[in-house]
Amino acid sequence: MSKISANELRSKYLNFFKSKGHTIIPSASLVPEGDASVLFTTAGMHPLVPYLLGQEHPGGKRVTNVQKCIRTGDIEEVGDNTHLTFFEMLGNWSFGDYFKEDAIKWSYEFLTNKETGLGLPLERLAITCFAGDEDAPKDTESAEIWKSLGVPEHRISFLPKEKNWWIAGTTGPCGPDTEMHYWIDDGTPASREYDVNEPKWVEIWNDVFMQFEKMPDGKLVPLKKPNVDTGMGLDRVLAVLNGQSSVYDTEIFKGMWEVLALSQDIMTNDEVKKARIVLDHVRAGVFMVSDGVEPSNKDRGYVLRRLLRRAMVMARMLNLKDKWLEALVGKVIAEYASAYGELVEKSEQIFQVILAEQKKFEATLEKGLKQFELRIKSQESRISGTDAFDLYQTYGFPKELTKELAVQAGQVFDAVKEREYEEEFKKHQELSRTASAGQFKGGLASHSEKIVRLHTATHLMNAALRQVLGENVWQKGSNITEERTRFDFTHGQKMTPEEIAAVEALVNDWVARDLQVKKETMSLEEARNLGAIGVFGEKYADTVSIYTVYDPNTNEVVSREFCGGPHVEHTGVIGQFKVQKEEASSAGVRRIKAVIE
Ligand code: SER
Q: Residue 224's CB: how many other CB atoms inside 10 A?
A: 9
Among candidates 363, 362, 405, which has minimal Cα distance to 387? 405
Say yes or no to pLDDT of 38 above 80. no
Question: What's the pLDDT score for residue 32?
Answer: 87
Confidence of residue 475 (pLDDT cuts 50, 70, 90): confident
- Considering Cα of 394, then 396, then 399, then 401, what sign does the dihedral take? negative
- Let me know: does 458 contact 486? Beta carbons within 8 Å: no
> Which of 15-19, 148-152, 532-536 has the weakest average pLDDT?
532-536
Which letter does DSSP use for residue 338 in this model? Answer: T
Question: What's the pLDDT score for residue 447?
Answer: 57
User: d(Cα 532, Cα 525) in Å, to the nearest integer?
Assistant: 10
343 compared with 542, residue with greater pLDDT: 343
Residue burial 467-482, b: 16+ Cβ < 10 Å; e: rest: ebbeeebbbbbbbbee
Confidence of residue 441 (pLDDT cuts 50, 70, 90): very low
- Let me know: does 339 contact 65? Beta carbons within 8 Å: no
Confidence of residue 435 (pLDDT cuts 50, 70, 90): very low
What is the 236 CA–ligand 1 centroid distance (Å)? 14
Say yes or no to pLDDT of 542 above 90. no
Q: Which amino acid is located at 262 in the chain?
A: L
Residue 229 Cβ inside 6 Å of ligand 1? The answer reads yes
> Average pLDDT, stretch 480-491?
86
CATH class of 449-596: alpha beta
What is the 143 CA–ligand 1 centroid distance (Å)? 19
Residue nearest to atom 5 of ligand 1 (CA): 231
What is the atom index within ligand 1 of the atom nearest the CA of 89? 6
DSSP H helices, 474-566, are 497-512, 524-529
> Average pLDDT, stretch 332-359?
96
Q: Which of 69, 90, 163, 229 to mutate to test the pocket of ligand 1 (most atoms within 8 A of CB)?
A: 229
Backbone angles phi, psi at 87, to 5 degrees: -155, 165
Question: What's the pLDDT score for residue 1?
Answer: 41
Residue nearest to atom 7 of ligand 1 (CA): 231
**What's the CATH fold of domain 6-248?**
BirA Bifunctional Protein; domain 2 (3.30.930)
User: d(Cα 323, Cα 259) in Å, to the nearest integer?
Assistant: 10
Residue 227 Cβ inside 6 Å of ligand 1? The answer reads no
Task: Tell me the CA distances in angstroms from 394 to 269, 278, 390, 444, one per residue in order.
Answer: 32, 24, 6, 10
CA 469, chain centre distance (Å) = 31
Say yes or no to pLDDT of 319 above 80. yes
> Average pLDDT, stretch 60-67?
97
- Let me know: does 429 contact 436? Beta carbons within 8 Å: no
What is the 592 CA–ligand 1 centroid distance (Å)? 31
What is the 243 CA–ligand 1 centroid distance (Å)? 24
Confidence of residue 380 (pLDDT cuts 50, 70, 90): low
> Average pLDDT, stretch 88-112?
97
Residue 537 Cβ inside 6 Å of ligand 1? The answer reads no
> Which of 115-124, 133-142, 498-507, 563-572 has the weakest average pLDDT?
563-572
User: d(Cα 21, Cα 24) in Å, to the nearest integer?
Assistant: 10
300 three-state secondary structure: helix
What is the atom index within ligand 1 of the atom nearest the CA of 232? 6
Mean pLDDT computed over every residue of the chain: 88
Q: Residue 551's CB: how many other CB atoms inside 10 A?
A: 15
Say yes or no to pLDDT of 436 above 70. no
What is the atom index within ligand 1 of the atom nearest the CA of 43? 4
Count of CA atoms in the C-beta half-sphere (13 A) of 220: 13
CA 560, chain centre distance (Å) = 23
476 compared with 153, residue with greater pLDDT: 153
User: d(Cα 221, Cα 154) in Å, to the nearest integer?
Assistant: 33
Confidence of residue 434 (pLDDT cuts 50, 70, 90): very low
Residue nearest to atom 2 of ligand 1 (CA): 231
> Which of 193-197, 527-531, 557-561 has the weakest average pLDDT?
527-531
Show me where the domains of the chain are located: 6-248, 250-378, 449-596
Residue 43 Cβ inside 6 Å of ligand 1? The answer reads yes
Task: Give the range with max mean pLDDT: 47-51, 347-351, 533-537.
Answer: 347-351
Task: Give the range with max mean pLDDT: 26-30, 549-553, 582-586.
Answer: 26-30
Residue 45 Cβ inside 6 Å of ligand 1? The answer reads yes
Say yes or no to pLDDT of 532 above 90. no
448 compared with 212, residue with greater pLDDT: 212
Model pLDDT for residues 210-247, shown as the tens digit of each residue: 999 988 888 999 998 999 999 999 999 999 999 888 99
Identical topology for domains 6-248 and 449-596: no
Say yes or no to pLDDT of 198 above 70. yes
Q: Which amino acid is located at 138 in the chain?
A: K
